[in-house]
Structure 1
Amino acid sequence: MVQPGGGFDLSQIMQQAQQMQQKLVEAQEELANTEVTGTSGGGLVTATVSGDSQLKSLSIDPTVVDPDDVETLSDLVVAAVRDASANAQKLTEQKLGPLAGGLGGGMPDLGGFPGLGG
């Protein structure tokens, strides 16, 4: 990236940035189309969320439905959704982590400006 005269090849940097942006967009689309689940109560409640943490479905085993104990059911639903969201977060980190790591590694040192260069 450093040209013979000591300058930077801005077109190469821009090309790399565009490639990274395209990979990021593709990873985000893949995440939005991927579903993960979370459970609670030993599988009595199952929540399904997309990779971008949108709740898609909720399944409740009829045996856990007790009109006299709605609080337990509510707790199980919250726990299942949290579990699914945590699984979606892990998936996001797996998909986007390598892309985020690539943003700083190939950048030139831009004179010590905070957040720029690597």
Structure 2
Amino acid sequence: MMNGMNMNKMMKQMQSVQTNMKAEQEKLNATSFTGKAPDDMVVVTFTGDRKMTDMTVKPEAIDPDDPDTLSDLVIAAVNDCMTNIEKATRDSLGKYTKGLPGM
């Protein structure tokens, strides 16, 4: 009988953790994150669920004779933003996955 009570307690704890994780994930998804290229030539904004909501490009970043540089700046800004989202996700949700195999 003791195992049944422990199992029920463990199940309730897991449900609580799951509810908390869901709430934190929703909070992250609603948060805006910014990524920047060098010298802020390109600045992008994404939500925590990785949807782009804004991009600003400085006019001096637009050179019709050198479109590759603009592409590189956009990639740098997006990668910076994705890194910021990953870090925030790790910081927020990592407490739930710490010590779990494969996490």
- Cα distance in structure 2, aligned partners of 1:93 and 1:55: 20
Equivalent position of 1:22 in the other structure: 19
Equivalent position of 2:38 in the other structure: 41
Query: Does the alignment pair 1:90 with 2:91?
Result: no
Structure 1 unpaired stretches of 5+: 105-114
- Cα distance in structure 2, aligned partners of 1:68 and 1:45: 18
Deviations 1:49-98 (A, max 9, x none): 11222222111011111111111001100110000000000000011011
Provide TM-score, normalisation by structure 1. Answer: 0.77
Q: Which has more radius of gyration? A: 1
Provide TM-score, normalisation by structure 2. Answer: 0.88
Deviation at 1:36, TM superposition (A): 1.0
Equivalent position of 1:100 in the other structure: 97
What is the aligned-residue RMSD (CA, Å)?
Answer: 1.8
Structure 2 unpaired stretches of 5+: none
Runs of 4+ in 1 over 3 A off after TM superposition: none
Deviation at 1:41, TM superposition (A): 2.5
Amino acid at match of 2:89: T
- Cα distance in structure 2, aligned partners of 1:19 and 1:79: 39
Deviation at 1:47, TM superposition (A): 1.0
- Cα distance in structure 1, aligned partners of 2:29 and 2:45: 13
Give the match's secondary structure for 1:53.
coil
Count of aligned residue pairs for this structure pair? 100
Equivalent position of 2:73 in the other structure: 76
- Cα distance in structure 2, aligned partners of 1:54 and 1:83: 14
- Cα distance in structure 2, aligned partners of 1:23 and 1:100: 12
